[in-house]
Chains A and B, each alone.
Chain A
């Protein structure tokens, strides 16, 4: 090689630019005001941690959380009015076991380690709560064993997906729907079923263990989660349908979707919930049993799907028109272009907003207290109101509830971040 065209060897950057010292110089003390900001913020953080920890560990009296205990989770479900005999606790626990098994199956089906971590964390949390330092009278051996059973349930779900043909996304989705319906049936219970049609007479006696528990008594975190899961599962497909409808070339479809979206976005959720008990029954036959939980679920879903529709529409609009053109030029029909080309890209572009909407839906479920349902926040509030001697512990109660909400919503955004990373493969 000629010496004139000598290529400079790459060299490392100066030492002051790399390592901890370089990073701190660059980011924390880059200029005099940056330095001041760093010092002031550091002081604020230290003070906050100091006083926060001191209060948490020394002043705060967390007994109240233990006293409310399981009611945070299932509300008044196992009380004397709801379930005479107080032997209904196993029903939500059985539902939890089914969910854990579902997580075990998802662990196998879903790529990436996210679901694995979530599944293990959920099963571990359930199993560890079997060792809570309650007396055997307050938390019996049966309750503890059912909680511990979450570990084998996870293993069974995992094994089912791993070693049987059930381990496909489609079957897990089917099982997911079955789990949801079984949960509702299990929690609801049933009286004896009598059925008479002409000569056919059927009488199915129900065991006493499955005596009906009115939805009025469903409460606590279970209620929040039920509403959130149903709302999330239904509002995504509904939102997609509304978004596509709003972009439709058929004027009637388009106008109906626009009206739906604008009406539900334009009214506060609280108002919608107030109206739910009167409006939802109008959509059903008169002899259809009225149920405020069902009405609330429907309204939360519709409310959320209006927002979801606009999120999805934003995603659709962010696509280059050349994408649909290329698909049409290949001979794909309009619906195929939407299904295989537009929607997957649109949804992936707006995953952060969609998850934001899910998180907000989950938190909004506590608004059902407005129609007399007792969610986890309302459990805490009514306990304080009913037991003035614990009024001093109000802070502790609500901080505990905040932590519970935070744990779930953080889990959601964690899963969403991992999902974005997995789906973002090769996209630049």
Chain B
């Protein structure tokens, strides 16, 4: 961060009364929350509670039908320029990695910088190599995604998102598709990222990660936010019975 002011002073994501319907199903029912720059927010909740839908509205992979979402000063509307501007600033990591199987690891990472930001290829490749070192797999640069393990693929996906130098990183259940021994290597990368003052919104069931790394834990249930507390309070004295119930089920 180059600014002198404290990161918490500035809300980089603002949601006001966000509603979303899939057909007649009311998936998000009036979400109001904000995330300040540099904050790490973990979103948890039972499946079908709208948590994935919520973070997908932040870069408009889903569009909301009512309310307001302002990301980095741009309001999310149907204006394509705003959406494209936001998507350049917001990186996303998916549960199923979604690497491009027909491109090498290196090309997966350099594609967006060269095509969207028009970075010269040589510079993009240097940056990609640095990112691969950061996520711990520089030796895999010339392989294809299909030749990597799940944990390695997810780390490439993180490097690919970081290559656009985003201000915000969204994680949509990044470890749910991984074997236990691979979860750790991905969480370590996320932990390092959180320590670097990146703004992070992560949907995850990894409560250990939530407890150690996050600034806030937000719990969704039936399309609403039912709890929004710092991790200590969330685990030790939640205000809602539903949180206790949820924790008792997954702990």
Contacts and interface: CB of A to CB of B under 8 A. Distances in A.
A330 B111 contact: yes
Contact of B87 (A328, A341, A345, A348): A328
A326 B98 contact: yes
Given A426-B144, A427-B146, A329 B92 contact: yes
Interface string A308-339: 00000000000010110111111111001000
Interface string B133-170: 00000000001111100000000010011001000000
B156 to A, nearest CB: 12
B143 A426 contact: yes
Q: Among A331, A336, A427, find the residue whose CB has the most chain B CB atoms closer than 10 A.
A: A331
A330 B161 contact: yes
A331 B84 contact: yes
A344 interface: yes
A425 interface: yes
A330 B116 contact: yes
A425 B84 CA distance: 33
Given A331-B112, A428-B146, A326 B102 contact: no
Contacts of A274: none
B147 A428 contact: yes
Interface in B88-116: 88, 90-92, 94, 96, 98-102, 104, 111-112, 115-116
B138 to A, nearest CB: 18
A344 B108 CA distance: 14
B94 A330 contact: no
Interface residues of B, number: 29
Contact of A332 (B90, B101, B102, B112): B112
Contacts of A327: 100
Contact of A322 (B94, B102, B115, B143): B94
Interface string A194-227: 0000000000000000000000000000000000
A330 to B, nearest CB: 4
A336 B104 CA distance: 18
Contacts of B116: 330-333, 336
Given A336-B115, A340-B115, A426 B147 contact: yes
B175 interface: no
Contacts of A333: 84, 116
A326 B158 CA distance: 12
Contacts of A329: 59, 61, 87, 90-92, 161
Contacts of B102: 344-345, 348, 423, 427
Interface residues of A, number: 23
A425 B147 CA distance: 10
B111 A340 contact: yes
A345 B96 CA distance: 17
B87 A330 contact: yes
Contacts of B111: 330, 332, 340
A341 B160 CA distance: 14
Contact of B146 (A323, A331, A345, A426): A426
A331 B104 CA distance: 19
A35 B47 CA distance: 56
A323 B146 CA distance: 14
B160 A427 contact: no
Contacts of A427: 101-102, 144, 146
B115 A320 contact: no
B146 A330 contact: no
A329 B143 CA distance: 23
Nearest to A329: B92
Contacts of B61: 325, 328-329
Q: Among A326, A329, A426, A427, find the residue whose CB has the most chain B CB atoms closer than 10 A.
A: A329
* CB-CB nearest 6 A-B residue pairs: A426-B144, A326-B98, A330-B112, A322-B98, A331-B88, A428-B146
10 contacts: A320-B98, A326-B92, A326-B157, A331-B112, A332-B116, A340-B115, A345-B100, A348-B102, A426-B143, A426-B145
Given A320-B96, A336-B115, 5 more contacts: A326-B92, A330-B111, A332-B116, A345-B101, A426-B104
